[in-house]
Amino acid sequence: MARKAGIWRVASTAAVACLAVALIPLAVSALTAPLTTWALSPLPTRWLSAVTRPATLILSLLLIAAVVAWWVWISGHLMRPRTSGIGVVAAIPRTAGRGEHGTSNLMTPAALETSAVTWSPGTTPDPGISGFVIGATPAERGRKETYYLSGSEGHVLVIGSTGSGKTRRIVLPSIYALGELGESMVIPDPKGELYLTTCEHLKAKGYRVDTIDLRDPSRSVQWSPLDLIVDLIWSAEIAHAEDMAHELAKTIVSAQLGGHGGNEAFWNASAEAIIAATALLIASEPKGVDPLSRNMFNVYRTLGTYGKERTAVRADSIRQETIYPLKEMIEGLDDRHPAKVAYLAASLATGNTASSMYTTAANALKIFSNRNMAALTARSEHNLADVGLRKSAVFIITPDERDAYNVMVTIYVRQLYQALVKAANAHGGRLPVPVNILFEEFGNIPKIPEFVSMLTMARSRGIRILMVVQSIEQLERYAEGRVEAASLIGGNCSAIVYLASASGKTHRTMSDLTGTKTIMVRDGGSSQRNGGGLVGASRTTSRSDKLTSRPVLMPDEIARLSPEVDGALVVRRGMNAALFPVPDLSLLSVDKAFGLGDPKHASHVRAARQAARDVHVIDLPPIWHGEELLPKGLKLLGQERSGPTRTPAERVGADR
C-alpha cells in the first residue's frame, strides 16, 4: 500500500509540473508584453515569447521550480499519518534513511484508504465484502459514510478499557454493518443493552432474533445444554456424545470450582467423571423416561437425591447396608454403556471419599438448582445449527451483577461451534450463512475449552470471532506452556485493534507489534581549551547526524493514544500499523438506524423496548426418577416416591 501511495505522489508531482510548464510562461508573458499585443496573439506565440527571451525564461523556470517544490512538500504533508499536527503522532520523529534499522512505519492516509475492505451504507456490497468494523469515517463534504472492515476470514481482538468507547465505536457499528450484509450474529450481552439497542432494526432486516435471557427466563427462549448430548446418543454418535459430556462437565467444574493442582485437581477430576456419567445416564436411559426430564436440572437433582448415602436392604438378605444409589444404578448398566465407562474414574471411591466426590459434583451443578435456570434449560426451542443456515441474531443476556451465570455463555458458544462444524460439513465445508460471534466482555467469561484450536479452524468454515478485552492479561488463562496467550490468540487474529488500556504489559506488547523504524538523530558536543594568557580559551563544537532505530510507537506513546484524537491503533498481518478513525456512533448512520439519539433519549428507547418484550410462562421440568435402574431386589429405606412431578405453581413467569 505504501508503494501505491508513492506512485500516486510521483504521478501527481509530474502532473503539477506539466501544468506549471504550460501555464507559468503564459502568465509571465502577460506581465512583460503589451496587453493588446498579448491578447491578440495565439497561445503558442504567447508561450514562446516567454521562453525565448532569457529574462522571462529564467523567471518562468524559477516560478516552475517553486510550484513543483511547493507541491512536493504539500503532497508529503498530505501523506503523513492521519493525525499529523495533533495528538501523539505529531511528535513522533520522521522516518529517515533507507530502512537500515527497520522499515516499519505508520500508514499514510492514502494507504489507509486502500488497505482495508470498505463499505458504505446504501450501496450494494460486492461479493466478499464482510468483517467487523475496525474504523469509520462520517459523511462530510460530499464524501459518503465509509466503514473499514476486517475482511471475510479474520478474527479481531479489540483492547479497550472501561470508558474507551469500545461498544459505541466498534461493537455496535459492527452489529449494524453485519446486519446490513445479512450475516448471522451470536452476541453475549451483559445487561441486555445490545439487544434492546439493535433488536428492532435487525427484525426489520428480516432476522430471526432469539434471546437466551439468563436474567429473566420468562422473556427467553429455552435452551438445554444436555440436548446436544441427547441428540448425539440417539443418532448413535456415542463417542462424540461421550466427548461432549466430559467437555460439559469439565467446563462447569472449572468455572464453578476453580483449582488446578494438588487436592483440588483430584476432587475436580472426580467431580467431572461423576457429572459426565450422570449426564450420559439421563441422556441415554429410555426406560419409561419422560423426554422432557432429560436436562441439567435433573442431572443436579439426581446427584443430590441418589448421590448421598442411603440405607437399603436386598431381597436375599435381611441385613441393612449403606449404599450410594447412583453408584448402584450405574454399575448395574451394561459394561459398554457410556455412563458406566465415564464413571470408572470415580467408581473405586468409598466412605468419606465417595461422599466428598458427590458433594463436590453437586456443588458444581448448583447453578441449575435455581428455579429460573431449571426452567430455562428444561428443553430446547432453539436449534443451534440454524444460526449458520439462515440469518439469525442470538443474544445471550447475562446478569452483570452475578458472574456465576457466565459459564452458560461458555457452554453455549462451545456447543454452538460443534453444531456449526457439523452443519458446515454437511454443506461442503462452509456454512451457507457466515456466523459472527461478538464477545463484548471476553475477559469476563470462563475459559472456553480448546478455544485456540477453535480460532484456527473456524475461519475456513465461515465463523468469525470478535473478542473485546481490557488488557492482554485477560488472555493469560489461554496460555499454553511457555507460549504467551497474546501470541496464541493474537496470532490467529487478522487484526488487533487498540483503543485504550491501563496495562503496561499491553502497551509494551502493542509497541512490539508496530515494528521498528529508522530515524535520524543528531549528536552534538562542545569542548573548551584554556590557552593561557590574555587570549584566553578556545571552544570547539562538533555535530553529527546518524541513523538509528526506534519502535514505530513507544509504549508510553501508546499509553497516551486517544480514540477521539488519534483514532484506533490497528495492527494487521503483513501491513504497517495504522491509526483508523473510530467516531462515536452518534456521528454515523448507526445512530439513526437504531433509533437512539442523545443518551437520555436512548435510555427511554431501551426502556420502552424492554417493557414491550413478550412474557410467557415456562414450566419447570418433570422429575427424573431412577429407581427402576436400581438392581432388582434392592429397596431403599426411609424414602417414598414423590407425588406429582409438576404443579401449576411450579412455573416461571406465572405471576406476571
Per the CB < 8 A criterion, the answer to whether 184 and 391 are in contact is yes
Please give the pLDDT value at position 267. 84
* Number of neighbours of residue 347 by Cβ within 10 angstroms: 16
What are the phi and psi torsion angles at 220 (to 5°)? -120, 155
Distance in angstroms (rounded) separating the CA atoms of residues 555 and 103: 19
Please give the pLDDT value at position 527. 57
221 contacts: CB under 8 Å, gap ≥ 6: 210, 211, 212, 381, 382
Nearest to 405 by CA among 356, 370, 360, 355: 370
> Pairing relation of β-strands 537-551 and 463-469?
unpaired
Please give the pLDDT value at position 462. 93
574 contacts: CB under 8 Å, gap ≥ 6: none
Please give the pLDDT value at position 301. 93
- The H or E element that residue 497 is part of is strand 493-500
Please give the pLDDT value at position 646. 41
> Pairing relation of β-strands 155-160 and 208-213?
unpaired
Residue with cell 495504522: 578
Distance in angstroms (rounded) separating the CA atoms of residues 107 and 140: 22
Helix, strand or coil, per DSSP, at residue 189: strand
- Chunked in runs of 10, what are the mean pLDDT values of the chain (656 residues)? 57 82 74 66 72 76 83 61 58 81 86 86 76 92 87 89 93 95 95 93 96 92 94 92 94 79 75 94 79 92 88 83 87 91 81 83 91 91 93 93 87 94 95 96 88 90 95 83 71 93 94 90 63 57 76 94 94 92 92 84 88 85 85 74 39 50
Residue with cell 475459559: 447
Residue with cell 436512548: 602
**In the numeric block, which cell numbers belong to residue 337?**
454403556
Distance in angstroms (rounded) separating the CA atoms of residues 269 and 290: 30
Q: What residue spans of 426-503 are helical by DSSP H? A: 451-458, 485-490
Looking from the CA of 28 toward its CB, the CA atoms found within 13 Å total 25
Please give the pLDDT value at position 641. 40
Torsion of CA 257, 261, 264, 266, to 10 degrees: 120
